[in-house]
């Protein structure tokens, strides 16, 4: 079974409900990962490498210094139209410094992420809290964009939101998309611009 799936299952929201720090969560995950790959030593034996891996993914790492094509252009367009923008993610506290490093932080009006809220998509409470953070927005007036079928496309629709599936590499097959509105599948972020207008109208 996928090690990351098990880690999230046993310690959801980066261990927020189990008294774990985010660093503890990552150390435990790395130990699990290496144990699954055959490592038989102690967790302490992995500490130097684990800390190096954690540092590798922090906001100052060159591995994250890029954005999706047209991301900034879309965000600027959305802000010019007066949209309330929020980021909803199953991510850690690293998200905030990373967004600042990439120059994207200022585009967002609120952040709903699992390390802070203790909730993870596809739990619909994530989206309900996001709507409240946006000022009590009606679900029918809100849209969500993401690249995963169940958490990002189907979950927000359960409470009446519009959702868009971002699939830049055509990862999903026609069988995967059998219950998906094909008009809400985009391969390029620029395709969202006319679609968002439909929500506003």
In 3D, which of 180, 121, 128 has the Cα closest to residue 155? 121
Cis peptide before 122 (omega within 30 of 0): yes
pTM over 0.85: no
Looking at the 3D structure of the chain, how many domains does it have?
A: 2
75, 171: one domain: yes
106 has a pLDDT exceeding 60:
yes
Pinpoint the alpha helices (H) of 66-169. 71-80, 95-102, 114-117, 124-133, 155-157
Residue with tokens 């774990």: 20
Domain check: are 40 and 135 in the same one?
A: no
Mean pLDDT value across the chain: 87
Task: State which residues form the domain around 85.
Answer: 64-200
Same domain, residue pair 70 and 100: yes
Question: How far is residue 111 from each of residues 9, 133, 141, 178, measured CA to CA in Å?
Answer: 23, 8, 18, 31
HSE of 28 in the Cβ direction (CA atoms, 13 Å)?
16
Residue 134 in tokens:
């946006």
What is the per-residue pLDDT across 19-55, written as a single tens digit (0 to 9) for each? 888 788 788 888 888 888 888 988 888 888 888 877 7
Same domain, 69 and 52: no
**Together in a domain, 31 and 111:** no
User: Is 127 exposed, middle or buried, given 0-12, 13-18 or 19+ CB atoms closer than 10 A?
Assistant: buried
CATH code of the domain covering residue 191: 3.40.50.1000
């Amino acid at each position: 079974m996928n090690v990351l799936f098990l880690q999230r299952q046993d310690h959801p929201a980066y261990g927020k409900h189990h008294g774990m720090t985010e660093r503890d969560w990552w150390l435990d995950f790395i130990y699990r990962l290496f144990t699954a790959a055959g490592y038989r030593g102690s967790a302490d034996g992995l500490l130097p490498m684990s800390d190096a891996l954690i540092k590798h993914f922090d906001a100052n790492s060159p591995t994250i210094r890029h954005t999706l094509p047209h991301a900034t252009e879309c965000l600027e367009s959305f802000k010019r139209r007066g949209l309330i923008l929020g980021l909803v993610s199953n991510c850690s506290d690293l998200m905030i410094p990373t967004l600042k490093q990439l120059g994207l932080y200022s585009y967002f009006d609120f952040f709903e992420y699992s390390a802070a809220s203790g909730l993870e998509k596809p739990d619909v409470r994530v989206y309900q809290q996001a709507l409240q953070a946006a000022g009590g927005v009606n679900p029918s007036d809100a849209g969500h964009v993401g690249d995963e079928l169940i958490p990002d496309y189907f979950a927000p629709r359960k409470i009446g939101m519009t959702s868009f599936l971002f699939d830049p590499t055509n990862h999903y097959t026609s069988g995967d998309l059998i219950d998906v509105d094909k008009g809400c599948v985009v391969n390029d972020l620029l395709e969202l611009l006319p679609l968002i207008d439909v929500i506003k109208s």
